[in-house]
Amino acid sequence: MPVPVILDCDPGHDDAFNILLAAAHPSIELLAITTVAGNQTLAKTTLNARRVCSAAGIRGVPVAAGRDRPLHGPRRVAEDIHGGSGLDGPRFGQEEPDVPLDPRGALTLLRDILLTHPTPVTLVPTGPLTNVAAFLLAYPELAGRIERIVLMGGSTGRGNTTPAAEFNILCDPEAADIVFRSGRPVTMFGLNATHQVRATPEVVARIAALGTPLSALCVDLLTYFASTYREVFGFDAPPLHDPLTVAHLIDPSLTELVRAAVTVELAGTYTRGATVVDLHGVTGRPADTEVAVHVDAEGFWRLIVEAVRVLGDGAGPR
Ligand code: BDR
Ligand code: CA
C-alpha cells in the first residue's frame, strides 16, 4: 500500500524536488500540498507550489495556503539562497499556473483529509513548522490521525542561518518546539544528513540527459541553487535537503536513523532555534525522536532522476 502523505512546504528549490518525488513515485499517495511562509512570503511559496505542479503535470492534488508568519517573532525569508521569487532560475513566465488554489486554506484542508482518509496520514513538513504547530493547537483531537511527522529541519551539529540554528527551525522555534513535543512520532532530517546529498555537476548532467522540458527546468533550478550555495557558503555543490524526507518514506534502507532526545532552544542569546540533539543520552530525556545520521546519496539521486524522468514523459504522475 502506498504511504498517504501531505507535503507542507515553502518552495524553494529543494521543496520543488520533493513535490516531484512525492508525485512521481508509486509508493507515495500524495493527498495534498500545503504551503507556509519561509523561503519567501506565503504568496510566493504558494504560487511556486502551483507552478511546480503545473510544469510537472501534477493535477488533482489540492494545494492550499497556510500561515503567512511564525507563531512568534519576526518573519524572515531566504532570498540569498532561493532568490526574489523563492524559485529563481527557470523562466516561469507571467501567466497563472493552471493548477488552482484550494480555497479552504491549509488547516481546514488538513482537517478534512485527516477526518476522511481511511488510515492515518504522514505529514512531511519541509519549511518552518508553523502550519503543523497551528494545526496541532487548533485540532488536538486529530493528532492521532497523524501517523508520523517526517521533517526537514535542525541539525545534530551547527546551523546554516545562525552558527547554531538551521533555517526552518529558526523561522519559528516555538512551532518547532510544539511539533517535537507533540507526542506524535517525529523523524528529523537535519543538515548533518542533508549535506550528504549534493547536486554535483554529474547529477545535474544525468538530469539534463533526460532531455525533456521538465528536466530542463530542473537543471535551471539546480544551476541557480548551486550559484547561491557557492556564493553564500562556498559549497562546490548544493545540498538538496528536503527530498530526503520523501526518499526515506519510499525506501527506508537509504537512511540510517538513531533515536535521541531533541530539544529546541527557545531562549539562547546566540543559539535561539538550535536543535539540541542528545546523541549520547547524557540528559536523561527520553530518546523519542528518530534522527537521520547517514544517507545513501547514490540511492537518493537514483530516485530523484527517475522522478524527473517519469513526470517529464508527459504522462503526469503515475
Ligand atoms: C531548509 O531551508 C530552506 O531554505 C530549504 O528549503 C530547506 O528546507 C534548509 O535549511
Ligand atoms: Ca524548504
Inform me whether the pLDDT recorded for 82 exceeds 90.
Answer: yes
Chain-wide mean pLDDT for the chain? 97
Residue 286 has what DSSP assignment? -
C-alpha cell belonging to residue 182: 507533540
Does ligand 1 come within 6 angstroms of the Cβ of 182? Answer: no
- Distance from the CA of 259 to the center of ligand 1, in angstroms? 23
pLDDT above 90 covers a percentage of the chain that reads 97
CA distance 172 to 125: 13
Residue nearest to atom 4 of ligand 1 (CA): 39
- Judged by DSSP in three states, 24 sits in helix
Q: What is the pLDDT of residue 313?
A: 73
The average pLDDT across 182-186 equals 98
C-alpha dihedral (130, 88, 61, 173), degrees to nearest 10: -10
Q: HSE of 148 in the Cβ direction (CA atoms, 13 Å)?
A: 14
Mean pLDDT of 277-306: 98
pLDDT for the residue 94:
76
249 pLDDT above the threshold of 80: yes
Give the mean model confidence (pLDDT) for residues 35-46: 98
Residue 39 CB less than 6 A away from ligand 1: yes
Preceding omega of 12 cis (within 30 degrees of 0): yes
pLDDT tens profile 194-215: 999 999 999 999 999 999 999 9
Strand ranges inside the chain, DSSP E = 3-9, 28-35, 63-65, 121-125, 146-152, 186-189, 255-264, 275-278, 289-295
Q: Model confidence over 64-73: pLDDT tens digits?
A: 999 999 999 9
Decide: 15 in ligand 1 pocket, CB within 6 A.
Answer: yes
The architecture that CATH gives domain 3-310 is: Alpha-Beta Complex (3.90)
Question: From ligand 1's centre to the CA of 77, what distance in Å?
Answer: 10
pLDDT at 317: 56
**pLDDT confidence of residue 229:** 98
**Closest atom of ligand 1 relative to the 14 alpha carbon:** 6
Question: DSSP state, 313?
Answer: I
Largest alpha-carbon pair distance within the chain?
55
State the closest ligand 1 atom to the C-alpha of 194, by its place in the atom list counted from 1.
9
Helical segments of 100-140, H only: 106-116, 130-138
Mean pLDDT of 231-246: 98
